[in-house]
Amino acid sequence: VNSPMTYSYGNVAYDYGMTRVVGGAGAAEAAWPWIVSIQHPWVPGLGHMCGGSLISPDWVLTAAHCFDDVSNASLIYVVIGATRFTQPGPGAAVRNVKQVVVHQDYNPKDFSYDIALMQLDHPVQCSSYIQLACVAEPTLRVSELINCWIAGWGSTVARSAGTTPDLLQEAKVQLIDLQLCNSSDWYGGQIYTHQLCAGYPQGGIAACQGDSGGPLMCQDNNADHWWVIGVTSWANGCARAMQPAVYTSTKYFYDWIDYNMRVNAMKTSGPASQSSICSWHCSCTPSSLPQMDSSAAACPRDCTASSCRKRGLRKQQRAFLQGQVLIGQGAVSLQ
C-alpha cells in the first residue's frame, strides 16, 4: 500500500511508516543546519510531527501530507538550529507558523504532488547552527549526484511507533533509477515523474529514510555545498528489498516554490516582505561565520547570478502554480 502507516492522535495523524532513519547514526552538531523539526503539542513524546528544510529566513519546505489531519495550523511550531531536542543549545530558535501552502494538486490517496511550504511568523537569523538549504535548480543533473544523505528525528527501530530519538539521525543513501524503481518487481508503475527513489535495492539500511517532509540531500559533484533534491514522502513498508523510500523532487517544483513564496508573502505582509529563491542568499548570507563542516557550506549563488534571475510568468502559468493556503484556524482555502 503506497501510504505511510499512521495512527490518529487528536487531530494529528502521526506517521510511523516514514518517521525514522533506520540504520543511521547520530549527526554531529550543526551538520545539517537547514533541517527543522515541525512540532505539534498533541503528538506524543517530544512533539515531533514532521521534518522540513529552511529555504529562506521565513519559509520551510516540507510534505503536504504532514497536514492531512491537522485541523488547527496555529498550534504548529517549528524548531530550527537544534540537533538534540533535550539540549537544543544556544543556536536554536522556535517559531510559530503564519501560513501553510499546500500544492493545489496534492492527492492524499497516492501522495502525488506531496509538497508544501510553511511561512514562519518571524524570520530567523543565520548562524553556525542555522543555514539555508539550496533547492535543486531546474538545470541540476540530479541523477549524476553521488554523495546523498537523509536525516531526521524519527524512530531508529522499525515498527516502533511514537518513539522519537532525542538526537538527529543521519544515513547515507543511493539514488535509484526511476525506471528501475517503477518496474514490475519494485513499485509497478506507482512512481510519478515528479518523484525520486532513494535507499538500497536490498533494503535493510535506512529503508524508511527520515521524517516525512524532511530532506533528501546530495553534495554537488564539483563543490562542497549540498542540494536538497527531495522531500520525504512515502514508502511501502519499512526496510523491504526493492521498496525504497519515495521523495517529491524539488527540481520539478522549483518554479512552484519560488512563485508561492513570493505571492503568499505579499498577501500576508505586503510587497516589501516578499521572498523568493533569488533573495535567499542576499538576506541570509553566512559571510562571517566561523569555520564549519563542509556539510554546512552555503549555496554558491547571489542575487546577481544569472541563475538567480526572477522568472517572468505568464498569466496562465501563475494560475497553474498557485497553491492552496491553510492559515490560522485550520484548513481555510483562499482560492
Please tell me which residue in 40, 65, 103, 281 is annotated as part of the active site.
Answer: 65
- Give the Cβ contact number of residue 128 at 10 Å: 17
Across the chain, mean pLDDT equals 78
pLDDT in tens, 222-242: 988 899 999 999 988 776 889
Non-local CB neighbours of 132 within 8 Å, separated by 6+ positions:
34, 54, 55, 56, 57, 126, 280, 281, 284, 298, 299
Question: What angle is formed at CA 256 by the lines to CA 133 and CA 60, rounded to 5 degrees?
Answer: 35
The secondary structure of the chain in percent helix, strand, coil, rounded to multiples of 5, reads 15, 30, 55
C-alpha cell at 75: 498550534
Across 23-27, 29-33, 158-162, which has the greatest mean pLDDT?
Answer: 29-33
Q: Provide mean pLDDT across the span 274-296.
A: 43
Query: What pLDDT is attached to residue 93?
Result: 97
Question: For the whole prediction, is pTM greater than 0.75?
Answer: yes
Cα separation, 12 vs 3, in Å, equals 16
Q: Is 317 helix (H, G, I), strand (E, B) or coil?
A: helix
- 176 or 73: whose pLDDT is higher? 176
Higher pLDDT, 195 or 49: 195
What's the Cα-to-Cα distance from 148 to each of 24, 41, 212, 213, 334, rounded to whole Å? 13, 32, 17, 16, 37
CB contact burial 272-302 (16+ within 10 A = b; e otherwise): eeebbbbbbbeebebeeeeebeebbbbbebe
Catalytic residue at 56?
A: no
Report H helices in the chain: 178-181, 254-269, 280-283, 315-321
Buried b or exposed e, range 129-164, using 16+ CB within 10 angstroms: bbbbbbbbbeebebeebeebbbbbbbbbebeebeeb
At residue 21, does pLDDT exceed 70? no
Block residue for cell numbers 553566512: 286
> In this predicted structure, what is the pLDDT of residue 308?
41
Annotated catalytic, 212?
Answer: yes
Contacts of 30 (CB under 8 A, 6+ apart): 81, 83, 91, 128, 129, 292, 293, 296
Question: Using CA atoms, how far apart are residues 52 and 140, in angstroms rounded to an integer?
Answer: 21
Q: How does strand 226-234 pair with strand 134-135? A: parallel
Average pLDDT, integer, range 22-30: 76
Query: Residues 62-70: what's their mean pLDDT?
Result: 93
pLDDT(125) > 90? yes
* Residue 30 contacts residue 54 (beta carbons within 8 Å): no
48 flagged as catalytic:
no
- Which residue among 53, 127, 155, 212 is the active-site one? 212
Whole-number Å distance between alpha carbons of 206 and 324:
32
Q: Would you give the end-to-end CA distance of the chain in angstroms?
A: 32
Q: Mean pLDDT throughout 98-127?
A: 96
Span 37-58, mean pLDDT? Answer: 91
Annotated active-site residue in 48, 53, 58, 114 = 114
CB 199 within 8 Å of CB 236: no
Q: Could you give the CA distance from residue 186 to residue 191 in angstroms, rounded to a whole number?
A: 10
Predicted confidence band at 287 (pLDDT cuts at 50, 70, 90)? very low
pLDDT tens, 212-223? 999 999 999 998
Class of the domain covering 136-249: mainly beta
Assess whether pLDDT exceeds 70 at residue 272. Answer: no
pLDDT band for 23, please (50, 70, 90 cuts). Answer: low
Domain residue ranges of the chain, discontinuous segments joined by + = 136-249
**Number of residues that make up the chain:** 335
